[in-house]
Amino acid sequence: MKKHRTLTLLLPLAIISCAAPAVYNSANGQVEVRQASPALVQQGNQAFAQYKAQHRVSQNHAARARVYRVATKLRPVVNLPGANWEFEVFDDASANAFALPGGKVGINTGLLNIAKTDGQLAAALAHEMAHVTSNHAQSRIQTNQAIQLGGAVLGALIGGENPQTATQYATGAANLVFGRSFSRSQELQADQIGTVFMARAGYDPAEAVRLWQNMAARGGAGVPEFLSTHPISSTRIKALQDFLPQARAQRR
């Protein structure tokens, strides 16, 4: 889901996105959990505290109760040792949510209007929890470092009289080709793992498809998918539909 960009001082890359090897074993239904480093968890905690200080926390009791109700069902089926899960609702009309290392999850009231049922809300929360259990933040950091290094090398090779400018162009091109597609890959991965989590919590994973159908129905041209860090709704819907049989097999 679309992420906020206001935490750049504390955590420039850990609002989650990027590529990683598969963390779901379709043969046995096991989800691989990847622990974040203690330093990254600390950064996540600091960033979440900063975000709460800078953004208005919702005082809508019904909205908060709904999020906590769904989160309470999801927590027991998401095995992340040492996680200190915290869910906060922000008074923001945009249909966004985000996750940070260590188990910090924020959701906007605008997304609650899109998620019409508890099952659809479970899809959104489980998606963010999947980012955390897959440690996508660390993968994003490593990828970004590699892109910057590659851009610097390429810039030195083609820089001519102005290697600094050439490096900037090279890094930007590398990020467009690799970094953004990696982000979309992780979003789709979190979609799949999220449906496994929500199924284990007793929700119908087909609600994840309905959530993205609701998002698509909102309209708006948006940006082309190849220029976006997140897949367009039709891509997510198709991928989720293809994965539904495996997710439903995890329902309890």
Active site residue 128: yes
pLDDT at 20 over 50: no
Q: What is the pLDDT of residues 177-201, one digit of tens each?
A: 333 333 667 788 889 999 999 999 9
Q: Is residue 90 in a domain?
A: yes
Percentage of residues in the chain having pLDDT higher than 70: 64
Q: Tell me the three state secondary structure of residue 167.
A: helix
For residue 118, pLDDT beyond 90 = yes
Is 10 among the domain residues? no
H helix and E strand count, the chain: 9, 5
Please report whether residue 4 resides in a domain. no
The predicted-structure confidence for 204-232, as pLDDT tens digits, reads as follows: 999 999 999 998 887 654 444 434 445 56
CA dihedral 48, 54, 58, 63 (to 10 degrees): -30
What confidence score (pLDDT) does residue 136 get? 64
Q: Determine, yes or no, domain membership for 176.
A: yes
Check if the beta carbon of residue 105 is closer than 8 Å to that of residue 45: no
The mean pLDDT of the chain is 74
Rounded to whole angstroms, the Cα distance separating 218 from 113 reads: 11
Total domain count, the chain: 1
Give the residue among 116, 3, 131 at the shortest CA–CA distance from 70.
116
- Residue 21's pLDDT is what? 43
* Structural domain range at position 195: 24-248
Q: Which residue is it, tokens 């900063």?
A: 50
The answer to the question of residue 8 being in a domain is: no
The reported pLDDT for the residue numbered 77 is: 93
pLDDT mean over 84-108: 91
Q: Is residue 6 part of a domain?
A: no
Termini Cα distance of the chain: 26
User: CB neighbours of 62 closer than 8 A, spacing ≥ 6?
Assistant: none
Residue 12 lies in a domain: no
User: How do beta strands 97-100 and 86-90 pair?
Assistant: unpaired
| Averaged pLDDT, 8-25 | 44
In a domain, 136, yes or no: yes
Question: Per the structure block, which two tokens stand in for 230?
Answer: 């997140």
Q: What are phi and psi of 97, to 5 degrees?
A: -150, 165
DSSP 203-218: --THHHHHHHHHHHHT
Per-residue pLDDT for 11 more than 80? no
Binning pLDDT at 50, 70 and 90, where does residue 239 land? very high
Q: SS3 for 243? A: helix
Of the candidate ranges 12-16, 92-96, 123-127, the one whose mean pLDDT is the lowest: 12-16
Nearest to 191 by CA among 141, 104, 129, 105: 129
**What are the pLDDT digits (tens) for 128-182?**
999 888 876 655 554 444 434 433 333 333 344 444 444 444 444 444 333 333 3
Catalytic residue among 32, 128, 161, 225: 128
